[in-house]
DNA sequence: CTACCGATATTCT
DNA sequence: GAATATCGGTAGA
C-alpha cells in the first residue's frame, strides 16, 4: 500500500516526463495539495462535482477550470480516499515543441509550459482529460529512476490559506520554473524565528 | 524586472 | 455577494 506523504509524491514528480499525444513535457515545478486536512486543497470541504476525481484512485489526472478561464492539471496521489494531489506548475517541452508553440502563441520556449495553465495548454489537456489514466494510452507519465538535479522548496503560489506551508517544489535553477507570487489575501508572512 | 488590473465558472457565505 | 491552486496586457522603476 501507499505510505508515502504527499510531499514525497510531489518531489518524485520532478523530472518526470508527461506525454499527451505527441507532446512531452519534463516536469520542473510542482505543488502538493494534501486532501481533506489541507485548507488550501479543493478537497478540504469534502467532494464536490469539481473535486470528485481527487477522492478516487491515484495515478489519474485531476483537471479543473481555474478562475473560469484556464485549465490546470494535477496528478492524484496517495491512497484512494486521501484526496491528495500534486499540481503541475511548470515544465520543459522536450518533444514536438512546434505543436506546443502553436497552442501557446508567441512566447519564448522557456515560457511554453511555465505556469500551471500554460503547461496544461501546451500539452493540449482540458476538462475531457479529468480522470484520465497516467498509464496510457492517451496520457503517459514516466517518473525518473534517479534525479540528477537539486530540489528547492518554498510556499505555494497564489494560496491564501496555509500560505506559509512550503509545499511548492522545483528543480533548483531551472529556467522554466515560474515566478513566486503570493496571494494578495494571504496573511502576513511568518517571519523566520 | 515589479505592480496592478480584468476576464469569469465553481464554490462558499 | 465574494473568493479563488491564473494569465496577459499595460504602466513604471
- The CATH number linked to A102 is 3.10.300.10
Asked, for residue A180, whether it belongs to a domain, the answer is no
- A144 beta carbon < 7 A from strand C? no
pLDDT at A188: 87
pLDDT at A192: 67
Whether cis (ω within 30° of 0) applies to the bond prior to A137 is yes
Q: Are A106 and A40 in contact (CB under 8 A)?
A: no
Residue A89's domain spans which residues? 6-135+143-171
Asked, for residue A186, whether it belongs to a domain, the answer is no
- A157 beta carbon < 7 A from strand C? yes
∠ CA A25-A75-A71 to the nearest 5 degrees? 70
Q: C-alpha cell of A16?
A: 518526470
Asked, for residue A179, whether it belongs to a domain, the answer is no
pLDDT at A1: 77
pLDDT at A190: 76
Residues of chain A with pLDDT under 70: 192-193
Number of domains in chain A: 1
Asked, for residue A183, whether it belongs to a domain, the answer is no
**d(C-alpha A135, C-alpha A57), whole Å:** 13
- A51 beta carbon < 7 A from strand B? yes
**d(C-alpha A142, C-alpha A119), whole Å:** 17
pLDDT at A193: 63
- Nucleotide with minimal C1' distance from the CA of A105 is C8
Q: Is the pTM of this model over 0.95?
A: yes
Asked, for residue A182, whether it belongs to a domain, the answer is no
pLDDT at A2: 86
Strand partners, A25: A18, A93
Q: Which residues contact A105 (CB under 8 A, 6 or more apart)?
A: none
Amino acid at each position: 500500500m501507499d505510505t508515502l506523504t504527499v510531499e514525497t509524491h510531489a518531489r518524485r514528480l520532478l523530472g518526470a516526463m508527461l506525454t499527451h499525444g505527441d507532446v512531452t513535457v519534463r516536469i520542473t515545478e510542482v505543488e502538493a495539495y494534501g486532501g481533506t486536512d489541507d485548507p488550501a486543497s479543493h478537497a478540504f470541504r469534502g467532494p464536490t462535482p469539481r473535486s470528485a476525481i481527487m477522492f478516487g484512485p491515484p495515478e489519474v489526472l485531476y483537471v479543473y477550470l481555474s478562475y473560469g478561464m484556464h485549465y490546470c492539471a494535477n496528478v492524484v496521489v496517495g491512497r484512494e480516499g486521501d484526496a491528495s494531489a500534486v499540481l503541475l506548475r511548470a515544465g520543459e517541452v522536450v518533444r514536438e515543441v512546434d505543436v506546443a508553440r502553436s497552442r501557446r502563441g508567441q512566447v519564448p520556449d522557456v515560457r511554453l509550459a511555465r505556469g500551471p495553465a500554460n503547461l496544461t495548454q501546451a500539452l493540449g489537456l482540458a476538462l475531457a482529460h479529468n480522470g484520465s489514466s497516467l498509464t496510457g494510452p492517451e496520457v503517459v507519465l514516466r517518473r525518473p529512476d534517479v534525479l540528477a538535479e537539486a530540489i528547492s522548496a518554498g510556499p505555494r503560489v497564489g494560496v491564501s490559506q496555509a500560505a506559509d506551508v512550503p509545499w511548492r517544489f522545483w528543480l533548483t535553477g531551472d529556467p522554466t520554473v515560474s515566478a513566486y507570487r503570493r496571494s494578495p489575501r494571504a496573511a502576513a508572512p511568518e517571519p523566520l524565528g
